[in-house]
Amino acid sequence: MKNLNKILAALVVFLTVNACTDYQQLDYSVSVPESIELLNVLNQYDNLKSYVNQSTDPNFKLGAGVVFSDYTSKGVMYRLANSNFDEIADGYTMKHGAVVQDDGSLNLANVNLLLQTAKDAGVSIYGHCLVWSSNQNASYLNSLIAPTITSGGGGGGGEPTWDVVSSQDFETDDDSNYSHSDNDNTILSFTAAGGGSDGVGRALQITNTEVQANDWNCQLFFNIPEATQEGDQYELNMDIRSDVPATYSTQAQSSPGNYVYWDFFGSPSSTTEWTNYDKTITVSSSTAGCKTIAFNLGLTATTYYFDNITVKKYNTTGGGSSSKGSIMINDFESDALGTTYPMTGNSTATVVEDPAGSGSKVLSVGNAATPANQSEPIFNIKLPEGITLGNCKNLILDIYVVDNQGIYGQGLRMIINGKEGNVGDNFAVLGAKNNDWGRNLIVPISMVPLSEADKTLTEFTLSFGNKTGAGFYYYDNIRMDWEKSGDLSTEKTPEEKATIIDNAMATWIGGMVANCKDYVKAWDVVNEPMSDWPDPAQLKTGVDQTGLADDVFFWQDYMGKDYAARAIQLERKYGNPDDKLFINDYNLESNPDKCKGLIDFVKYTDGVCNSMGVKGVDGIGTQMHVSITADTAKIVQMFQLLAATGKLIKISELDMGLGSVMTANATDSMYIAQANLYEFIVKKYFEIIPAAQRYGITQWALTDSPANSSWRAGEPIGLWTLDLYRKRAYGGFANGLAGKDVSKEFN
């Protein structure tokens, strides 16, 4: 300690002496490194959006592509986007694959968080995107149109039954199959014991506090476990009353709050006394894919009461454990009277009214004269799509014989692949009586020798000959049954698939757009529709493609070329009247034929929209994922083609690489070329696109891409480095926006 004190004392003396020494400047200087000098210049640029001329382009949107987690965490990327841009587009969060669940419901939690985060920051959101071929929940969409598998085992084969699929008597607090709209004007509670129907138990009561602007502003939701399918039959039965008389509608919804169709189970009317409401429906194309009944209670200010709600579904095969099933081949009810079928010999086959007076339609097969051979007439049986003879065990016929010629039976012979196979002893004499129907006459197909090749047939021939003379025969309800070992896989028809996918699109776009309409005013309604090869003037397709990614689904393969117009129609229905809708694609700057093909498709779509009575496309988006080697002449040509459409034009996803060069190998001369091309593209946009058509430019990659990114991995494509330093590209972009070299104004 003594030595330390001595050292400190000496140090004080030294500092005191030297403090009095005169200061002399050394003749020494260091040059500023070029990289630091460049950074100083770039740092003098203002934020990018300040260079947009609001007097000439008041509606121009300078956009930024963002990643959900980066933006909603409100970290540095959130601040970078908000300070430089006035609109954002999320790369994935608002797409079908991110929102639509495996049961078809919409999970909008992330979407709503993104909306609120942007709203709080005062930044608009560009909706990206509604209909695309990638980033879809393809497994769900494909499941909707998959073949219908009808199993013969484990249940079925008995008499048809009405099976309860969902019920609620409100005697417990189990609310797993019902809920209500979440707002202050909808109050849910229960009656006291004895307040239920007929004075038994308790009932659910919902109070609508005042008359609402819309009936759906106060709703009760009742759920069923499986989505409805077109053609299914359901019955709703419930006990209802209200404090004042009221009538309310029922909506079909895919899940609580996700509207599909305005009518589901009619419009119940309640009085001050308990009444029973019973409604049976057949599911239509409009109500297919639904799992929720919404009761719209908003137009009457009262308390509603519900008790003993039961939903039943009609089960055609009933209960039991039979291993058999059945499929109708033709009951002739869909044919118009007078429809003819091709026959042979002297025979005719025409759809007529049942001679027995049932009012149904049947097939009349007439032998005007004794047939030349006992095999006539010959009748082809075409099986429904997806069904083969290998599935089937028996042919079942209903036959009615009108006998004026002493005919007492109907002979039958099968011809498969041109080979005759006898049923029974040469001919099967079926038990149809004169002037009466023989019902459920079974012809065992198993008695006909079938090779493996024959089992795959979807059409075969029956020869309906008779032994003695002329006569007329009537056929109805031609059907087949099968064993469990041949579970029936029935392919849906193209028309059925089109209807199903149309409904899926309506559910998706309707739910998404209605949810976002208060804040999202512009959408990529259709993304990347055009093919790249062999003909860029045609739509993309998944037909004959193998190895498609799990998230790929081509809506146009099922809905046809009008799919884009249908998407626009749906957005116009559920969105805002003045929403701006775009069709967006890539490589337009490098492939003039693709650009022209897209423009033609937009014109076609506008025409279809016009026939639908809705406004067509507002604008065209060009992505421009380019490289410094891009052909500038083609860029100019693209802008000229797009400008000539008169549509709004948006550079929707601009970023720029250095050819095949990764960030680690980039040189300053490459970065100079990158800055120059950024400046060129932005300037040409403002020079060629008229002011009234300029929607905006979105920079898709703010920073260079990380090596582990799923998008242009390891490429220096951004305006900032990964360390968030401004690049030369930032200056080029700013110069393009300003229309001049801003750096020349710096001291």
Among 121, 117, 119, 57, which residue's Cα sits nearest to residue 84?
121
Instruction: Please indicate, yes or no, whether residues 561 and 649 belong to a single structural domain of this protein.
Output: yes
Q: Show the tokens assigned to 453.
A: 């090749």
Q: Could you give the CA distance from residue 91 to residue 70 in angstroms, rounded to a whole number?
A: 12
Residue at 246 is within a domain: yes
Instruction: Please indicate, yes or no, whether residues 478 and 499 belong to a single structural domain of this protein.
Output: no
Burial 500-523 (b: 16+ CB within 10 A, else e): bbbbbbbbbbbbbbebbeeebbbb
* pLDDT number for residue 201: 87
Q: Could you give the CA distance from residue 695 to residue 648 in angstroms, rounded to a whole number?
A: 6
Per-residue CA distances from 148 to 262, 384, 742 (Å): 28, 12, 65
Instruction: Please indicate, yes or no, whether residues 250 and 233 belong to a single structural domain of this protein.
Output: yes
Amino acid at 674: Q
SS (H, E, C) 635-671: HHHHHHHHHCCCCEEEEEEEEEEECCECHHHCCHHHH
Instruction: Please indicate, yes or no, whether residues 538 and 482 belong to a single structural domain of this protein.
Output: no
Q: Show the tokens assigned to 703.
A: 């920073």
Q: Could you give the CA distance from residue 653 to residue 697 in angstroms, rounded to a whole number?
A: 8
3-state secondary structure of 255: strand
**Burial of 113: CB neighbours in 10 Å, binned 0-12, 13-18, 19+:** middle
Residue at 7 is within a domain: no
Residue at 739 is within a domain: yes
Instruction: Please indicate, yes or no, whether residues 501 and 650 belong to a single structural domain of this protein.
Output: yes
Domain extent for 563: 42-141+495-745
Q: How many domains does the chain have?
A: 3
Among 446, 384, 313, 448, which residue's Cα sits nearest to residue 150?
384
Beta-carbon contacts of 143 under 8 Å, excluding residues fewer than 6 positions away, are none
Question: Domain holding 268: CATH number?
Answer: 2.60.120.260
Q: Could you give the CA distance from residue 662 to residue 414 in angstroms, rounded to a whole number?
A: 71
Instruction: Please indicate, yes or no, whether residues 647 and 730 belong to a single structural domain of this protein.
Output: yes
Q: Could you give the CA distance from residue 307 to residue 197 in angstroms, rounded to a whole number?
A: 6
Beta-carbon contacts of 140 under 8 Å, excluding residues fewer than 6 positions away, are 100, 101, 102, 103, 104
Question: Domain holding 373: CATH number?
Answer: 2.60.120.430
Instruction: Please indicate, yes or no, whether residues 519 and 658 belong to a single structural domain of this protein.
Output: yes
Backbone phi, psi, residue 184, to 5°: -70, -25
Amino acid at 557: D
Residue at 134 is within a domain: yes
Per-residue CA distances from 100 to 185, 301, 508, 525 (Å): 29, 35, 7, 16
Q: How far is Cα of residue 101 from the mean position of the Cα atoms in its chain?
A: 11
pLDDT mean for each 10 residues of the chain (747 residues): 40 38 49 79 95 95 97 96 98 96 94 97 97 95 84 48 87 89 92 88 94 94 91 92 95 92 93 92 89 96 96 72 57 85 70 81 72 59 68 65 45 60 41 58 61 70 56 74 54 91 96 97 98 93 87 96 98 97 98 97 98 97 97 98 98 96 96 97 98 98 94 96 96 97 86
| Beta-ladder partners of 200 | none
Instruction: Please indicate, yes or no, whether residues 611 and 646 belong to a single structural domain of this protein.
Output: yes
**Alpha-helical regions (H) of 542-627:** 556-559, 563-574, 592-612
Which of 276, 292, 315 is the endpoint of a domain? 315
Amino acid at 12: V
* Residues recorded for the chain: 747
* pLDDT number for residue 382: 72
Instruction: Please indicate, yes or no, whether residues 69 and 178 belong to a single structural domain of this protein.
Output: no
Q: Could you give the CA distance from residue 126 to residue 109 in angstroms, rounded to a whole number?
A: 18
Residue at 148 is within a domain: no
* pLDDT number for residue 325: 54
Question: Domain holding 523: CATH number?
Answer: 3.20.20.80
For residue 80, the 8-state DSSP code is H
Bridge-based pairing of strands 392-402 and 436-444 is antiparallel
pTM of the model: 0.59
Residue at 26 is within a domain: no
For residue 5, the 8-state DSSP code is H
CB 563 within 8 A of CB 506: no
Instruction: Please indicate, yes or no, whether residues 215 and 197 belong to a single structural domain of this protein.
Output: yes
Q: Could you give the CA distance from residue 341 to residue 348 in angstroms, rounded to a whole number?
A: 7
Bridge-based pairing of strands 619-622 and 648-657 is parallel
3-state secondary structure of 547: coil
For residue 196, the 8-state DSSP code is S
Q: Could you give the CA distance from residue 586 to residue 630 in angstroms, rounded to a whole number?
A: 14
Bridge-based pairing of strands 580-585 and 520-527 is parallel
3-state secondary structure of 505: helix
Burial 126-135 (b: 16+ CB within 10 A, else e): bbbbbbbbbb
Residue at 449 is within a domain: yes
Instruction: Please indicate, yes or no, whether residues 231 and 105 belong to a single structural domain of this protein.
Output: no
Residue at 388 is within a domain: yes
DSSP string, 348-405: EEEEEE-TTS-S-EEEEEEESS--SSTT-SEEEEEPPTT--GGGEEEEEEEEEEE-SS
* pLDDT number for residue 443: 62
3-state secondary structure of 461: strand
Amino acid at 71: Y
Q: Could you give the CA distance from residue 41 to residue 735 in angstroms, rounded to a whole number?
A: 13
Per-residue CA distances from 737 to 38, 42, 239, 547, 715 (Å): 20, 15, 67, 43, 24
Which of 264, 281, 315 is the endpoint of a domain? 315
CB 421 within 8 A of CB 457: no
Q: Could you give the CA distance from residue 13 to residue 9 in angstroms, rounded to a whole number?
A: 7
Backbone phi, psi, residue 92, to 5°: -145, -35
Instruction: Please indicate, yes or no, whether residues 703 and 560 belong to a single structural domain of this protein.
Output: yes
Which of 315, 345, 373 is the endpoint of a domain? 315
CB 622 within 8 A of CB 591: no
What stretch of H or E contains 96?
helix 96-99
